[in-house]
């Protein structure tokens, strides 16, 4: 039988335990367990080495050039998250992680630093929009 203590009703411990078990069982019966997806870590793909001779034959990706064979933006009307990259030195651009070299992105263009928007990031790689056509 419950007892009174300053206007509050106290419940004996045995009854509290029974209520707790009912609450746990009731909650577990109305909850649906979903398997948590396991995320396999994406291995970092290292860039293909580019020799000095290959480097010299690659076109420079600038505002005034067209880079044929460049992959198109898969989602051209989607907003980016605002991240941009500035290469501190000229960088080789690849068609995809582990793919062949495509062009050279200069660190500066039109007497200003080059900044390119990031549209996707993978371990060790950034997919960017190039200043060349088609970007």
Residue 53, pLDDT score = 92
Task: Report, in this order, helix, strand and coil percent for the chain, each rounded to 5.
Answer: 20, 25, 55
Q: Higher confidence at residue 24 or residue 107?
A: 107
Token digits of residue 102: 């495509």
Sheet with 84-85: list strands edge to edge. 84-85, 116-122, 125-128
Residue tagged 């209520």 (tokens): 19
Do 73 and 129 form a contact (C-beta atoms < 8 A)?
A: yes
Q: How many other CB atoms are there within 10 angstroms of residue 73's CB atom?
A: 17
pLDDT at 104 over 50: yes
HSE (CB half, 13 Å, CA atoms) of 73? 17
Give me the count of residues in the chain.
135
Mean pLDDT of 45-68: 87
Which range, 21-30, 104-113, 114-123, has the best average confidence (pLDDT)?
104-113
Q: Which tens digit of pLDDT belongs to each residue from 77-94? A: 888 888 898 999 999 999
Taking alpha carbons only, the member of 60, 53, 29, 58 closest to residue 131 is: 60
Alpha-carbon distance of 85 to 115, in angstroms, equals 5
Residues 116/85, Cβ–Cβ less than 8 Å: yes
- Cα distance between residue 76 and residue 41, in whole Å: 27
């Amino acid at each position: 039988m419950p007892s009174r203590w300053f206007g509050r009703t106290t419940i004996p411990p045995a009854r509290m335990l029974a209520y707790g078990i009912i609450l746990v069982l009731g909650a577990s019966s109305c909850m649906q367990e979903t398997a948590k997806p396991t995320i396999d870590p994406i291995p970092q793909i290292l860039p293909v080495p580019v020799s000095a001779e290959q480097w010299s034959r690659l076109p420079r990706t600038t505002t005034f050039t067209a880079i044929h064979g460049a992959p198109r933006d898969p989602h051209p009307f989607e907003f980016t998250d605002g991240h941009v990259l500035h290469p501190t030195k000229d960088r080789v651009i690849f068609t995809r992680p582990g793919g062949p070299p495509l062009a050279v992105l200069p660190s500066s263009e039109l007497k200003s630093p080059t900044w390119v928007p990031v549209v996707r990031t993978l371990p060790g790689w950034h997919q960017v929009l190039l200043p060349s056509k088609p970007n």
